[in-house]
């Protein structure tokens, strides 16, 4: 009888301690999951703004409903990261948080939003085509610079000739 009572008490404690963490997730938009080895979401604190081009994916709350174990800040951040990877999120915004204390909860509690920030696709600038007249100008400017450095012409003559070379063929 005592063994039976002790076994039931142990079972009750395990279920109570392990099963009291409360987590709710509300998904708004689906994205492909991110591979675990490539998933490194960026966390934004309560006082930080997510980039304006972020796409909202989901909302989650991490709370406590009893004597929960494994619910410290590091544990919760690991859980948030794992969830972000599964959602395809690369941004986690902490919307509200409460740190553990002995009076209300021994768990880190938070409200978070998951976002995906897609890299901006920028149009590459088309390469400029260099015309033979430009190559000639560069060559003439180099020669002119060599003349100035050798003392064959002074600064005033250099500036005047430089303007003529640059403005030719306009």
| Residue 93: exposure state from Cβ atoms within 10 A (0-12, 13-18, ≥19) | buried
The answer to whether the Cα torsion of 62, 67, 68, 71 is positive or negative is: positive
E-strand spans in the chain? 21-27, 42-44, 54-64, 91-98, 109-117
- Chunk the chain into consecutive blocks of 10 residues (it has 170) and report each block's average pLDDT, rounded to whole numbers: 45 42 84 91 94 94 79 90 94 94 86 87 50 70 76 82 74
So what's the pLDDT on residue 104?
82
DSSP category for residue 100: -
Rounded CA gap, 19 and 22, in Å?
8
So what's the pLDDT on residue 139?
76
So what's the pLDDT on residue 165?
76
So what's the pLDDT on residue 1?
53
């Amino acid at each position: 009888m005592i063994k039976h009572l002790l076994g039931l008490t142990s079972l009750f404690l395990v279920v109570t301690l392990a099963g009291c963490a409360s987590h709710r997730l509300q998904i708004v938009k689906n994205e492909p999951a991110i591979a675990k080895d490539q998933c490194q979401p960026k966390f934004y604190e309560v006082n930080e703004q997510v980039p304006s081009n972020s796409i909202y994916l989901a909302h989650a709350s991490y709370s406590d409903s009893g004597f929960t174990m494994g619910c410290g800040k590091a544990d919760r951040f690991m859980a948030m990261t794992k969830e972000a990877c599964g959602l395809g999120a690369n941004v986690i915004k902490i919307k509200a948080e409460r740190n553990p204390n002995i009076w209300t909860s021994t768990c880190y509690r938070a409200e978070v939003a998951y976002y995906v920030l897609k890299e901006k696709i920028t149009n590459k600038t088309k390469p400029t085509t260099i015309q033979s007249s430009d190559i000639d100008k560069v060559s003439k400017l180099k020669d002119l610079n060599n003349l100035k450095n050798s003392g064959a012409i002074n600064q005033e003559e250099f500036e005047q000739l430089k303007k003529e070379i640059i403005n030719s063929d306009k």
